Structure 1
Amino acid sequence: MSTIYDFKETEMSGETLDLSDYKGKVVVIVNTASKCGLATQLEALESLYQKYNEQGFEVLGLPSNQFHQELDDDEQTQDYCKVHYGVSFPMTKRVKVNGNEADPLFTHLKEAAGHGVIKWNFTKFLVGRDGQVIKRYAPQTKPEKMEEDIIAALKTE
């Protein structure tokens, strides 16, 4: 059975982000968009990241322009997220989340969660320490509502 550890992404810096480096950690993977009305969730995700990172919690943001709400290029996106929302967690180069060109990680996440197409930006996936999807959250679900599930996942060895 596949896990998130089987995938690699490319960080904004161009460096390879090997998800096997996240073994043993609890991870939230989210498709982001700077111009989305839900972009304020970046601040709440950063807050959770700061609060639980030392306990083995990570957030990974994958910008997507599939819903036409992202800035013109990756550099603008990264700067915008840092300046406006204080994002310090890793952000990748933009990806597609649906269709024939969907990023393989998102194809895996959708299949593992048992749900199909991603309908909007800020769909969030909580992944356990074993690399398996625990839960998929709707775009409107505020990150604060995920905190109880994150705490439970962090307690799992």
Structure 2
Amino acid sequence: MVDQVRRSLGMFAALGAALAPFRPDPAAAAASVAWDFTFESIEGEPLPLSEFRGKVLLVVNTASFCGFTNQYAGLRTLHETYGPRGFSVIGVPSGDFRQEKATNEEVKTFCEVEFGIEFPLAAITRVTGREAHPFYRWAANAASPPRWNFHKYLVARDGRIAGSWGASTAPESSTIRRAIEQALAAPSA
């Protein structure tokens, strides 16, 4: 119960910070495509997005204790359905909204055991504010910043943002599926 209250209080503080006015980041805007960025993988190795050049990506900030955590199941379905056609989900666990586990190992185990996740996961990463990962600053300049967990950025084959949806849009929604199919229909860069 104490942990739940602590997470709730932290959530409100994080929400206030996330809803602060967005200021574009000129340094992040200098990067031209998603392939310019590298995350750290949940295993501690580099996870360069350049390895996905020519594919379609759905980059999603995730959390283990969020009311939207069940979206992992939909993300897994998308990854399995569209993966053979050149698509991948990239999960980016984040504690920015105070709803993530404490360590990468705990997140990885949770994702594998509870949801059978096999798509790439980044290490726990900042996705909002001045300390946000450069990809997230760039994506926020191109679309909008994450306001909560499970914000989704669709990256087209050319490495540009092709869509952006908040947590209330389920991964398997017709809107996201249509956008993925449209992005997959485009020629490889």
Corresponding residue of 1:151: 181
Residue 17 of structure 1, CA deviation:
0.7
Say whether the 8 Å CA contact 2:139–2:153 is kept in structure 1.
yes
Unaligned stretches of 5+ in structure 2? 1-30
Corresponding residue of 1:118: 146
* Aligned counterpart for 2:161 among listed residues 128, 133, 151: 133
Residue 148 of structure 1, CA deviation:
1.3
CA distance in 2, matches of 1:118, 1:54: 28
CA distance in 2, matches of 1:53, 1:123: 20
Corresponding residue of 1:60: 90
Q: Deviations over 1:20-62 (max 9, x none)?
A: 1111100000000011110110111011100110100011011
> In angstroms, what is the RMSD of aligned CA positions?
0.9
CA distance in 2, matches of 1:39, 1:129: 27
CA distance in 2, matches of 1:65, 1:92: 13
Do residues 97 (structure 1) and 89 (structure 2) align? no
Corresponding residue of 2:63: 33
CA distance in 2, matches of 1:44, 1:99: 27
Corresponding residue of 2:41: 11
Residue 99 of structure 1, CA deviation:
1.3
Give the TM-score normalised by the residue count of structure 2. 0.80
Residue 70 of structure 1, CA deviation:
0.4
* Aligned counterpart for 2:102 among listed residues 47, 56, 72: 72
Q: Which amino acid aligns with 1:127?
A: V
Identity %: 38
Corresponding residue of 2:111: 81
Q: Which amino acid aligns with 2:114?
A: H
* Aligned counterpart for 1:142 among listed residues 166, 170, 173: 170
Corresponding residue of 2:12: none
Residue 98 of structure 1, CA deviation:
1.2
Residue 100 of structure 1, CA deviation:
1.5
Structure 1 or 2, whichever has the larger Rg, is 2
Unaligned stretches of 5+ in structure 1? none
Residue 73 of structure 1, CA deviation:
0.8
CA distance in 2, matches of 1:83, 1:148: 30
SS in 2 for 1:151: helix
Residue 154 of structure 1, CA deviation:
0.5
SS in 1 for 2:57: strand
CA distance in 2, matches of 1:100, 1:128: 26
Give the ranges of 4+ consecutive aligned residues of structure 1 lying more than 2 Å apart after TM superposition: none
* Aligned counterpart for 2:76 among listed residues 46, 59, 66: 46
